[in-house]
Chain A
């Protein structure tokens, strides 16, 4: 699959595969002005090594971003990292020994998969529905682990507009998850890159806010609210963990780029950063709308998908008999790409799903890209029906990722020649 993903970077391919924010409206004159000022006023500092944990001024910007979501951590608990990705890596490096259980959502952030794998975590994935991670299933899992004398090192969650599923953890479940962490003294790693990119509905309190930072380690990033090219993220952790994280960071890259930290200080001092976030959120909202309209128009009725209220991604699920990694090969023949669902699982599940990104492509390309994917999916569905003589029922109109809904649908007797589900 990795080799197929490399082809998605071809310029003639409409790629709905990446997770790229849109930078087409980023003001070049502001960029130039801020960098010029850094050059004239801070040449030496900006070109020098910086402190491993990051500059105080960067942390002040971070506190400002977190305050926008009602979080007010102690500045000493903040570590500036090279992107949110490094924060996840450092947390895993600090906490996980080979064979340790780690829990995450099913599907989970594809970028977390290699992290958990490289520290040889025993990863367990908990199903989600339209309200995010199923806490009842999480509790069952914790019971099973406890029965084996095991405790997870942490529960990793992307509660807002999850990557890749696009769903948001409900308030009730957030409360229950935080409660559970307290009751069982478990750590939660809350990864929140998209919280400020909400298109509609009420803002939900982050787990960090609900918990007060006792059991929740927080991961944030400037990638989606400013730029991913500056590679600037952070984590907020309790002091003993912070100490280890700083040691780990020292070993891995000594410090985060001073230059981009200086640029960020300037940006926050001189520019209305929240206006820029509002601006890109508007762009993403209309791109999301185009994607949902296009899915309804071009995908066959056997497909279902999530309807994210923010963020960057839609998660579409096809009938079980279609393997989206193979489908990607066919889609690439039509110069269009997506991320096959299995990239978001560590256990081979997700083969009938795909992640579609709407933030990184203009509306016309989203429409055309979804049309092309819809066409190859329809071809596969027709072929399947021809081969099996079966005509699958359309997915329910809600088209959310509610597993119970799916089950209800499967229980409906159909004139099957062959079973829908391949034994795994």
Chain B
């Protein structure tokens, strides 16, 4: 089979994407497929037309690759592709939209407010910062609304840090999300075709907040898989992830990041809070989804093969008989 692997691109996560893509290509070749690595640049559409792959593996992260743009292009070209469809990608990449969808579907997600920079410049939103603080409570997390990774994510523990955090987050996107900080276990549930893989727990080694670099540098974060959870907690976390999967209309594969809030007392029922969904999760050798697959006894090659088969299956299902 001829598989085009899309990687690189123009997003800030280019370097990570190149690593994900290279690893996928290697896996495809070891499976006996023909892998054609394509950097997502202005020649991409033409090259896809020339190459006519049987299926496209999207290993792009961040805006452009994970936000429905490339998916739309592949729909137009009539090429089957791996991972979620256009609408689900749009919902996942816009963290604000995703949270609205989740809340509407009853998926637990931390309280938030969202702003774009014009709210400050044209609507005097600075006046309501105190109100936000009151409503969300300190500490909180400021995030760009449209970045896949933790780039630009700032942890705010006191009022003085608010302007800097807003300015930093607004460097990455026009809109920011201010989200209540929930102390607890950081968990990631990778889901393949509606089936959750073992849950991964991320334990940052010495950062006060899980930052972008820590996520991709070997040794700075410890990953535990399966996560240390009681049976009850595990069920609650999986349930939240699967409800998110349905609420956002995901297909193929995706990763749901959530926090299992510290219980107020021993009798409390588990309280998982979904933070965000990665429509194209990282596939590097330090990424969480491959770790989860391995814990389930699924080698990276097999994971890639399964993802490719799902794309083909979806394709044949969508062809009118």
| Cross-interface CB contact of B172 among A10, A326, A384, A418, cutoff 8 Å | A326
- What are 15 A-to-B residue pairs whose CB atoms are below 8 Å? A1-B213, A2-B213, A3-B12, A3-B13, A4-B12, A323-B164, A329-B152, A376-B171, A380-B171, A383-B121, A384-B163, A386-B120, A387-B129, A387-B162, A418-B163
List the 6 shortest-distance A-B pairs measured between CB atoms, nearest first: A330-B171, A3-B15, A326-B168, A326-B171, A6-B15, A387-B163
A4 to B62, CA, bound (A): 13
Q: Which of B161-191 contact A (CB under 8 A)?
A: 161-164, 166-172
Residues of chain B contacted by A323 (CB below 8 angstroms): 164, 167-168, 171
Q: Pick the residue among B129, B161, B167, B213 that contacts A384 (CB under 8 A).
A: B167
Question: How far does the alpha carbon of A268 sit from the alpha carbon of B267 in the complex, in Å?
Answer: 82
Q: Is A177 an interface residue (CB 8 A)?
A: no
Chain B residues within an 8 Å CB radius of A332: 12
Closest CB in chain A relative to B44 CB, distance in Å: 15
Q: List B1-53 residues whose CB lies under 8 Å from chain A.
A: 10, 12-16
Residues of B within 8 A of A423 (CB): 160
In the complex, which of the residues B12, B117, B163, B213 has the most CB atoms of chain A within 10 Å of its own CB atom?
Answer: B163
B261 on interface, CB distance cutoff 8 Å: no
Given contacts A327-B171, A330-B171, A383-B121, contact A3 B163 (CB under 8 A): no
B131-167 Cβ-contact flags toward A at 8 Å (1 or 0): 0000000000000000000011000000111111011
Question: B161 touching A422 by the CB < 8 A rule?
Answer: yes
Contacts of A330 in B (CB 8 A): 171-172
| Given known contacts A326-B168, A330-B172, A422 and B160 CB-to-CB distance under 8 angstroms | yes
In the complex, what residues of A have CB within 8 A of residue B15's CB? Answer: 2-3, 6-7
Interface of B: prevailing SS: helix
In addition to A7-B12, A7-B15, 11 A-B residue pairs with Cβ atoms within 8 Å of each other are: A326-B167, A327-B171, A329-B151, A330-B171, A383-B166, A384-B163, A386-B121, A418-B159, A418-B163, A422-B161, A422-B164
Contact A383 B151 (CB under 8 A): no
Interface size class of A (residues with CB under 8 A): 20 to 34
- Is A254 an interface residue when CB atoms closer than 8 A count as contact? no
Query: Which residue from chain A places its CB closest to the CB of B120 in the assembled complex?
Result: A386
Q: Which residues of B contact A (CB under 8 A)?
A: 10, 12-16, 117, 120-121, 126, 129, 151-152, 159-164, 166-172, 212-213, 216
Contact check, A383 vs B12: say whether CB atoms are below 8 A apart.
Answer: no
Bound complex: CA A376 to CA B121 (Å) = 15
Residues on B with C-beta less than 8 A from A376 are 171
The 8 A CB mask of A323-341 against B (1 = contact, 0 = none) is 1001101101000000000
Asked if A321 and B13 make an inter-chain contact with CB atoms under 8 angstroms apart, the answer reads no
* Chain B residues closer than 8 Å to A4, beta-carbon distance: 12
A321 touches B170 (CB 8 A): no
Does A113 have its Cβ within 8 Å of any Cβ on chain B? no
Whose C-beta in chain B lies nearest to the C-beta of A330?
B171
The one of A2, A327, A383, A388 that contacts B117, using a Cβ cutoff of 8 Å: A383
List of B residues within 8 angstroms of A326 by Cβ:
152, 167-169, 171-172
B16: A residues at CB distance < 8 A: 3
Q: Which of A3, A322, A386, A419 has the most CB of B within 10 A?
A: A3
In the complex, the chain B residue whose C-beta lies closest to that of A332 is: B12
Contacts of A386 in B (CB 8 A): 120-121, 126
Interchain CB contact under 8 A, B171 and A329: yes
The interface bits of chain A over 294-329 (1 if a CB of B lies within 8 angstroms of the residue's CB, else 0) are 000000000000000000000000000111001101
Bound CA–CA A36/B216 (angstroms): 47
When distances are taken between beta carbons in the complex, the residues of chain A under 8 Å from B168 are 323, 326
The smallest C-beta distance from B265 to any residue of chain A, in angstroms, reads: 34
Q: Tell yes or no: A389 within 8 A of B by CB.
A: yes
Task: Give the complex CA separation of A380 and B169 in angstroms.
Answer: 11
Q: List residues of chain B with CB within 8 A of the CB of A122.
A: none
A4 to B216, CA, bound (A): 13
If the complex has contacts A332-B12, A422-B164, are A389 and B126 also in contact, measured as CB distance less than 8 A? yes
Give bound CA distance, A321 to B169, whole Å.
12
Chain B: minimal CB distance from A259 (Å)? 32
- Residue on B nearest A1 in the bound complex, by CB: B213
- B151: A residues at CB distance < 8 A: 329
- Expressed in whole angstroms, the Cα–Cα distance for A383 and B213 within the complex equals 27
Contacts of B170 in A (CB 8 A): 380, 383
Interface residue A211 (Cβ < 8 Å from any Cβ of B): no
A residues 166-187 touching B (CB-CB < 8 Å): none
Contact in complex: A3, B167 (CB < 8 Å): no
